[in-house]
Structures are given as C-alpha cells and as structure tokens.
Amino acid sequence: MVSVTRAVFGDLPLGAGTVEKFQLQSDQLRVDIISWGCTITALEVKDRQGRASDLVLGFAELEGYLQKQPYFGAVVGRVANRIAKGTFTLDGKEYQLAINNGPNSLHGGVRGFDKVLWTPQVLSNGVEFSRVSPDGEEGYPGELKVWVTYTLDGGELVINYRAQASQTTPVNLTNHSYFNLAGQGSPNIYDHEVTIEADTFLPVDETLIPTAVPLGALFTLCGYERLMCPLPPSDCKRLKKAGHVSSMYQLCPAQCLAYREVAPVQGTAFDLRKPVELGKHLQEFHMNGFDHNFCLKGSKEKRFCARAPAP
C-alpha cells in the first residue's frame, strides 16, 4: 500500500509560482519530491535494526534550492553532463548552447530542467511531473515535451523518463541525487563498498570532456616515478589532472601510437569490477574521487550494473 500526500513547499520570488511537495510512503520507504526541478528532497529507508534514516542530501526549505548548489536531487536536462564548448552539429546545422561550466554547457545550461517549475499529477502510487521545453530553450532545437514519473513498489523507488520532440534533438535525462547510505549524520561515504560492472571508461580532459588519449598513458600506478615516453610534458600534466590524481603514472612508449576514446579499466583505479572499499581505494590511487563515465557491458535487458552497500 502506497500513500501520496501533497503540501505547499514554498513560493517562488516575484510571484513566479508555488512549489509543492509530494510525499510517497510505503511500509519500507518514504520519498519527498518537490515540483521545482522534480527534485528529491528526502529518501528515508529503514536499516537492519528497523531505524529510519534519510539517505540523500537536500534542503529543508525552498530557499536552499534557489541558491547556487550542485543540483541536489534534481532532474537535469535536456542533456545531462557536459557538451564541449556548448556546440554540436545535427543534420548539418551547428547549434550553440548556453555556456555555464567553464567553456562547456552542463546539465542543460544556465536554466536547465532543474531550475523550472514542473506541472504535477498525483497517481495512485506516485506522482508524475511534466513540462514543455520550447524550441530554442538554452539553444536546443525543437519543442520537447517531457514526463518524469516517480512511483513506489514496495521497497523500490522507480523513476521513469519520457520525452517527445517536434524535431530531432539531443535528450539525456537523469536524476542528480547525492547519496550517503549510512544515513543522515554520517560524516562521509569512505566506508561504502563499490562495484561497477564496466570493462571500460571514458578518460576526460581538464574540463571533464571525454577525449582520445594514448592507451599507454592510462593511469597505471608507478609510485612517484615515470618512465620515459614520447608524450610532451603538457600531455602528461593533462592526463594527470584529468584523472584527478596527485601522483605520477607509468607511460608505455610501445602503446603511445594507439589512440581511442574508450579505455580499459584493467590495471587502473577505475577497475571496480570487484568490490572495493571506497576510501581505501581512493587513498591507494591518490585520487579525490571519480567524475567519469563507466561503460557498462551487456544488452539492454535488465541486468546487474553496480552495487554500493554501506556497512
């Protein structure tokens, strides 16, 4: 049995509208979602001892979401992640998007889907949000109708995305929640165990754009020494920065002529195919964290992709 309640969360400045909060609750979990950005503000589940705890980062009041913040819990789009220099070519025409992240366009631009008021519709086991993104919004071509549905099924939260465009246009929607599975009050996630079923990943440049790099330069830890390599020093520094690392890495001259965009995780810090404790793994590879795309294996059928339990 799922209950759905509706309440006012706050009013937007200058009479721009009222933001509502929808609380979905089953016997096993509770999720709060607001109509501003389709944002998940709380996700409460019970631990092994039956104690309920909120697992996502968010704000108790609307004001927090109206300030500059890292997309806490929001739906981002039209395109999640970065588009290099905010430009792309489609059907022979070049489009210029809004720039909002260094030289690039991030998560839909200056006023992406996270910064708009969506229209809600209550369902028996959840809530559906919809909006129409007009032709040219943030530089994207075509009108885009979007529906995002949150439903509860026992202990499972299901998010469904649907979009309909008036012409060909890029669409890549996702939810941008930040999780701490140890619950509210836990200081960090370093004790979380992470597994990602990916044989390859996308290396990135200094602005976090995926880029082709020499295979031999891909993050094989070698203490604080580096072998000789034909790569210029500027490329070595770029690779070091792109990997979010603080140590030097072995570069193999025999492979430096082979370039590709998808890099194998084998022998790198990105090999998470077997469970690793996050804090120890980052410390071992002298990394601050991951901000990369992992390339999942397999077909489009439902399958194991990743797991991240807390102790």
Residue 22 host element (H or E): strand 18-25
Q: Is 192 annotated as a binding residue?
A: no
Q: Which of 135, 116, 125 is nearest to 160 (CA)?
A: 125
Q: Is 177 annotated as a binding residue?
A: yes
Q: Which residues pair with residue 31 across a beta bridge? A: 24, 43
What DSSP state is assigned to residue 210? B
Cis peptide leading into residue 48 (ω within 30°): no
Q: Which of 194, 176, 151, 187 is nearest to 29 (CA)?
A: 151
Q: How far apart are CA 163 and CA 173, in angstroms?
A: 9
Residue 71 host element (H or E): none
How do the residues of the chain divide into helix, strand and coil, expressed in percent and rounded to 5?
A: 15, 40, 50
- Collapse the DSSP code of 272 into the 3-class scheme (helix H, G, I; strand E, B; otherwise coil) and give the result: coil
Residue that is written with structure tokens 């519709």 in the block: 121
Q: Is 176 annotated as a binding residue?
A: yes
Q: How far apart are CA 107 and CA 79, in angstroms?
A: 6
Distance from chain centroid for Cα 93: 28
Assign residue 156 a region: left if phi > 0, alpha if psi is -120 to 50, beta otherwise? beta
Q: Is 82 annotated as a binding residue?
A: yes
Residues annotated in the binding site for beta-D-galactose, as ranges?
Answer: 81-82, 176-178
Residues annotated in the binding site, as ranges?
Answer: 81-82, 176-178
